[in-house]
Amino acid sequence: MKKPLSLMLIAAMMLCLNGCGSGIPVKESSEASQKTKEAEAEAAQATAEAALATTQAERATPSEPEIVLKYGEVNPEGNIDTRVAEKFAQYVYELSDGRIKVDIYPGAVLGDERTSLNSLKSGNGLLDLYRANTNALTGYGFRKLNLFGLPYIFQDREGMWNVLESEDLGRAFLSEGQEIGANMVGLFYTDEGARNIFTTEPITGLADIKNKRIRVPESVLMMDTISALGAQPIPMRYEDLYNALANGDVEGAENPIPAYLSNRFYDVAPYYLLSNHVFSPGIVMMSERKWNTLSKEDQDILRQAGQMASEWNKTEIVAEEGRLKTELIDRGVTVIPMSPEEEAEARKVEEIVRVSFTPGLEQWLYRIIELQK
């Protein structure tokens, strides 16, 4: 019996040894498995995070915007008004998380001022937004906004912006196009600077423009303004002006400094009189038909973006004018300042224009003057 017992004990010990020996590899396998699971978990988390980031990016900048708006501008690329349009488009895109895109069409490629305003009024879809001159709105039933285009109505840039940013004047007047049935919604104002007269032949002062053929926008207000200064106003499309100056069809025109330079009018009319006869703001208008298709949220986005673009414009135009005045000299332009006596005379003769365009609007006229004191 002892022998079999001894054999059983030996067998048991061998089994134990084998079991103990096999325990080491089992432990190592368990650790490797754990590491593999951790690596797989980390990879899965990284994949999930990447997918989330991709989804967020797609939401922030969708490949295709939900709404595309067409914005017309008569001035070429590089002009301050075109750059304001570009800023507006940028802010709209950012505020809407890419849902709304504004395409800019500079250089009047969608039509001149009259064509563009007619498009907004009819809502024909040719364009959705257009930056108009407030002095060009007379033919569309506007009256209050015309006040901003009156000659010498603003003392300076600061006075103009005080009026434009006032709740009872500038802010309130943005809705005039809807109130009078012109089917246009005012969004925000722009500043290109004061309008000045330039000519093809040498002049020394305001008196020298008498009887000269001076191109003006197709606006009764601007025709009367130039006529009061003794010149002969010639209404003409902006796109035709350069050739008209070159061919002698007109002897001069009037434009702010940025437009004069960006359109290269100095090539054919290098005499620039700092008349400052009109300091009219631009106004970005939208087709009311298109406006009514937008949600309240998207309408608010356009207004907020417009306010931001206006603020950028206010700062940028000051630096721009300083640089451009130097460029005038560099381009060989003869710059003619007006004496205080000439300006006083110009203001006096323009009084008849201010009176003829303000019947029934006297309270607003007085308020504009009051805000600039």
pLDDT in tens, 165-196: 999 999 999 999 999 999 999 999 999 999 99
Domain ranges in the chain are 67-192+280-329
AA identity, residue 236: M
CA distance 41 to 38: 5
Tokens of 234: 């010639």
Which strands make up the sheet holding 334-336, listed edge to edge?
232-235, 213-216, 252-255, 195-199, 271-278, 334-336
307: left (phi over 0), alpha (psi -120 to 50) or beta: alpha
Q: Assign domain 67-192+280-329 to its CATH architecture.
A: 3-Layer(aba) Sandwich (3.40)
Is residue 301 classed as helix, strand or coil in its secondary structure?
Answer: helix
| Range 222-235 average pLDDT | 97
Q: Give me the pLDDT at residue 33, please.
A: 54
Strand partners, 131: 284
Average confidence (pLDDT) over 213-237: 96
CB 79 within 8 A of CB 134: no
Question: Is residue 133 a contact partner of residue 149, using CB atoms and an 8 Å limit?
Answer: yes
- Contact between 186 and 175 under an 8 Å Cβ cutoff? The reply is yes
* pLDDT at residue 50 in the model: 56
Residue 28 pLDDT greater than 70, yes or no = no
Spatial separation of the C-alpha atoms in residues 65 and 82, rounded to whole Å: 22
Alpha carbon distance 253, 243 (integer Å): 12
pTM for the predicted model, two decimal places: 0.82
Is residue 164's pLDDT more than 70?
yes
